Chain A
Amino acid sequence: MISSVADQQNLDQVRQRVFLALFIALAVSLHTFEALLPNPLPWFRIGLANILALTALELYGLRAMWTLTLSRIFIGSLLLGNLFGPGFLLSLTGGLAACLLMSAGAVLLRRGIGLVGLSVLGASGHVCGQLLIAEWIVVQHAAIWLLLPAFLLFALVSGVLNGFAADYLTDQLLRQEAFAACRKSFGPASAEK
């Protein structure tokens, strides 16, 4: 049996879809898991699922990252039962802002940025998006911004940690044959796309 280039492309596409679906499932489980963690502040999220968003970005590109993030927010909220509730709104704006910043970083700083940097951008967006919506709709009180310094610090730490985790994960994944078609898009030792 001779495999043609077209077949190979088809195979890669199917692989991408399957793995993206798996990543989404993983992201959803992380999303719901962290919603159950004890948290002094209601409705605010840590953003563990971003590890997978970064992985999707690295392996499959921007579109995959957006797909993954939006899917896991909606599916996760459906599972948690708070679709369109305040928790959902906060996740959504946090996720959207994170994706925006990460997209900007991926496009503008393509040469030179790594997963840690992207993750830090994403974490900052996540935090600011949540505070914005929290002030505007949920709490309606400017005092919420008093939390900004603590949140930014938290974004820093979680961003760096998530970045390392995603970098390690992608390294491991890229050693597998199933991901032979992908290349490292960002970070040290990444080839020119």
Chain B
Amino acid sequence: MLNRPLSLLLVIGLGLLLLWSQRDRAASEVTRTALIMGTLVEIKAVGSDENKLEDAINNAFDVMRRVEAEFSPQVPNSAIARLNQTAETSEIPSSVRDLVELGEQVRLESNGAFSMALGGVKELWAIETENPQVPTREQLEAVLPPLDSPALLLDGLIARRSSTLVRLDLGGIAKGYAVDRALEQLRDRGLRSASVNAGGDIGVLGGHAERPWRIGIQHPRKQGELLATLEARDQAIVTSGDYERYFERDGRRYHHIFDPRSGQPASGCQSVSVVAPSAALADALATAVFVLGPEAGMRLLEQRSEAEGLIVAANGEAIVSSGLKERLQWR
């Protein structure tokens, strides 16, 4: 007579155990930050072995620091700095070559809107320093590199600037590249769920444990508010905005995304967010689209099937590429 209740007990006990086991088992999220490439980089990793996650994240930061050492024009011995100092050829690492090739692709597709040669223009505006200034047209014309040529002439791993007016600056693509390398490192270390956020340039590996990563897009004019959110797995999203780095003079705002044709900050958009398989591509396209403006920029995005984007035009109007329409949730 006691057997039936006992077995019923067991069944129910097992059932409850099953229910209990469905809860998020021991999945923890580790978040670490570091200051690299002049920006705040935050890496999140989700998994069950916290030590493994921490080690992988530290390795990823190291990888990003090596990218900075290779690509920054300020670091004295970087490949970029060396190329900028000489009119002669110089040997470059394959990583630099690969990134330069990608940048050149985007330059051609965007009819010159994306440029890696604007180091001189940036220095003139001195926008990263304490004393930015508004240059005159003559000053700008003196440092503008020729529009229709690539920044670097390549022969295998031997490179040379195409003109002495070219001052290499890969700022519009190197951060994305660093994010990609960091993600690659995390993947190589066996992680399946991670995200790298370098000052707004985001790349994600897998989803966030069971669900996708939820990414918010900053509202270009309302601080602390979102424009929209979307979900992503194994993708990158980069936003270029006129609100990130700027200074004001005589009632006008000057930001850091320059139009290679004039040397002035591009004025067609408030912000551009690009979703692409790699952060380097998203970074370059975001810059290109920003310079091109809403119409030409959207055409560029629709041309590339693997890239999607959201453009907020200068007048505040939001335009979304066809593949992104269903994914965005407006706030």
Q: Do chains A and B touch in the complex (CB under 8 A)?
A: yes
Spell out A's residues near B (CB within 8 Å): 61-63, 66, 93, 96-97, 100, 103, 107, 132, 136
* In the complex, per-residue mask of B1-34: 1 if CB is within 8 Å of any chain A CB, else 0: 1101110110011001001100100000000000
B6 proximity list for chain A (CB < 8 A): 62, 103, 107
B9 proximity list for chain A (CB < 8 A): 100, 103
5 contacts between A and B (CB under 8 A): A62-B2, A62-B6, A66-B5, A96-B12, A136-B19
Contact in complex: B13, A61 (CB < 8 Å): no
Contact in complex: B8, A66 (CB < 8 Å): yes
Contact in complex: B1, A63 (CB < 8 Å): yes
Contact in complex: A63, B5 (CB < 8 Å): yes
* Chain A contact surface mostly: helix
A12-B1 Cα distance, complex, nearest whole Å? 15
Interface size class of B (residues with CB under 8 A): 10 to 19
B13 proximity list for chain A (CB < 8 A): 100
Q: Closest 9 CB pairs between A and B?
A: A62-B5, A63-B5, A103-B9, A66-B5, A96-B12, A63-B4, A66-B8, A136-B23, A100-B13
What is the minimal beta-carbon distance from A121 to any residue of chain B, in angstroms?
Answer: 14
Given A66-B8, A96-B16, A100-B13: 10 more A-B contacts, CB < 8 Å: A61-B2, A61-B5, A62-B5, A66-B5, A97-B16, A100-B12, A100-B16, A103-B9, A107-B2, A136-B23
A61 proximity list for chain B (CB < 8 A): 1-2, 5
What is the minimal beta-carbon distance from A11 to any residue of chain B, in angstroms?
Answer: 18
A97-B13 Cα distance, complex, nearest whole Å? 9
What is the minimal beta-carbon distance from B195 to any residue of chain A, in angstroms?
Answer: 23
A96 proximity list for chain B (CB < 8 A): 12, 16
B20 proximity list for chain A (CB < 8 A): 132
Contact in complex: B23, A103 (CB < 8 Å): no
Pick the contact of B5: A93, A103, A136 (CB < 8 A).
A103
What is the minimal beta-carbon distance from B232 to any residue of chain A, in angstroms?
Answer: 23
B8 proximity list for chain A (CB < 8 A): 63, 66
What is the minimal beta-carbon distance from A81 to any residue of chain B, in angstroms?
Answer: 25
A132-B17 Cα distance, complex, nearest whole Å? 12
A22-B66 Cα distance, complex, nearest whole Å? 79
Closest residue of chain A to B22 (Cβ to Cβ) is A136
A132 proximity list for chain B (CB < 8 A): 20
A96-B16 Cα distance, complex, nearest whole Å? 9
A93 proximity list for chain B (CB < 8 A): 16
Closest residue of chain A to B12 (Cβ to Cβ) is A96
B4 proximity list for chain A (CB < 8 A): 63
* In the complex, per-residue mask of B229-253: 1 if CB is within 8 Å of any chain A CB, else 0: 0000000000000000000000000
What is the minimal beta-carbon distance from B8 to any residue of chain A, in angstroms?
Answer: 6
What is the minimal beta-carbon distance from A190 to any residue of chain B, in angstroms?
Answer: 17
A56-B13 Cα distance, complex, nearest whole Å? 21
A136-B24 Cα distance, complex, nearest whole Å? 10
Of the candidates A62, A93, A136, the one having the most CB atoms from chain B within 10 angstroms of its own CB is A62
